[in-house]
Amino acid sequence: MPAFRMNAKAILQSHIAKTTSLSDDEFDYFFSHFKPQSYKKGQTIIFPGDAVEYEYFVLDGCLKSFYQTDQGKMFILQFAMPTWWASDYEALYNGTRATTHVDCITASEVLCLSSADREKLCREVHAIEFFFRWRTNRGYVAAQKRLLSFMHHDARQRYEEVLRLYPQLYNVVPKQLIAAYLGVSRETLSRLYQP
Amino acid sequence: MPAFRMNAKAILQSHIAKTTSLSDDEFDYFFSHFKPQSYKKGQTIIFPGDAVEYEYFVLDGCLKSFYQTDQGKMFILQFAMPTWWASDYEALYNGTRATTHVDCITASEVLCLSSADREKLCREVHAIEFFFRWRTNRGYVAAQKRLLSFMHHDARQRYEEVLRLYPQLYNVVPKQLIAAYLGVSRETLSRLYQP
DNA sequence: CACCGATAGTGATGTAGGTCACACGATCGC
DNA sequence: GCGATCGTGTGACCTACATCACTATCGGTG
């Protein structure tokens, strides 16, 4: 059994413990609602049009969530490296159909938590509700900063910012996906790092 | 005493009630932590560099939060119309200094809630923590959608999207501020609606 | 009432980045 | 071991938008 499977519980626990105090019993209860899952490289977890039931906590590998136009152009909303979370949150929170894809950049191991279980856990354990509030607060602030970055930085500055914020991505993620995250063409990105 | 002052409590209560069930006693307790405040047109509520203690629930008027470059270029992160919330959330959540401004587009009436009181209320009343989690979830999803809009729509499409999403803004907010929200120059915006 | 600041329209010109086309090396499946 | 596919670089050209400069209008205030 691979390391991340054996350690799934420890990985999630130390992730939670950074912000939230749960007793061992509370954490055991929390953890019992997660379902481990393996995906192959390139496998799609959420398709547009799907009913979205789960969010995914990444143990190993790397996911991306993205929107795709009719012409096949891809815009990446988020990468998800180990200890990050991913889903189509608009669909998950509103109970609507997915408008984005979530798929695997590399083979990945995740823990799945259903929206129903998340809400149940939040109702039952106040500290868990705190954790999810805190987590979204972080995501919200990060999204605002990325918006600002779109508004007042050019492609090169945004590229350098991404490398600075997420150096792990550089070795794992093909450049054309970085370009799709930055909102520029791969050709433009390729021209940024030479002159 | 103006209407929004008399009705402040009712406005906040009906805002909360859309998502969260609070007993009258719980709501009274919640409301007792808010401090009413009036601002004049053009007045600044948060300056960059400030320690940020409060977030603001708008009863009447219109606020904007924005980042300003050294050369004076302005990028608007958010407008806040009645029943919307505003602050420098990065500073508020992290306890760091403000990097953005918050000021009044028109004379405004707000209710101020300190971060310390928010956290206290969230600890004491589970339903209040639910409310704030829910609120940030919405904000997060909205920010993601705006990010996508930046990536795959041009200026005209973003303009039409804003008018569709926030028709109230059209009558209240000068076009150059809409431009600063869209991330285009006021000249470009002006050229969009004629050819 | 006359002036001023804020807001908005418009022309001329520059440029970052998109698009299309093609070439090249690295991987991967058979 | 070989062809197909993927990721990447690069050249030629085009377009959406920025910038600067000027003008016009309007609401408020001495």
State, as a whole number of angstroms, the distance between the CA of B109 and the C1' of C5.
26
Cα–Cα distance for residue pair B23/A111, rounded to 1 Å:
36
- Does B143 sit within 8 Å of A67, measured CB to CB? no
Q: Is the pLDDT of residue B14 over 80?
A: yes
Domains of chain B: 3-125 (2.60.120.10)
Residue of A nearest to B145 (CA): A90
Q: Chain A interface, mutation test: which of B75, B92, B140, most A Cβ atoms within 10 Å?
A: B140
Q: In this structure, what DSSP letter does residue A32 have?
A: T
State, as a whole number of angstroms, the distance between the CA of B124 and the C1' of D3.
67
* Chain B residues within an 8 Å CB radius of A150: 147, 150-151, 183
pLDDT of res. B3? 60
pLDDT of res. A88? 98
- B60-117 pLDDT per residue, tens: 999 999 999 988 899 999 999 999 999 999 999 999 999 999 999 999 999 999 999 9
Measuring CA to CA, how many Å separate A161 from each of A42, A83, A144, A167, A178? 27, 21, 14, 10, 12
What is the residue-level pLDDT of chain A in tens, covering all 195 positions?
Answer: 556 666 999 999 999 999 999 999 999 999 999 999 999 999 999 999 999 999 999 999 999 999 999 888 999 999 999 999 999 999 999 999 999 999 999 999 999 999 999 999 999 999 999 999 999 999 999 999 999 999 999 999 999 999 999 999 998 999 999 999 999 999 999 999 876
Residue of B nearest to A179 (CA): B151
Q: What is the mean pLDDT of residues B183-188?
A: 97
What is the amino acid identity at position B62? C
Cα–Cα distance for residue pair A11/B158, rounded to 1 Å:
41
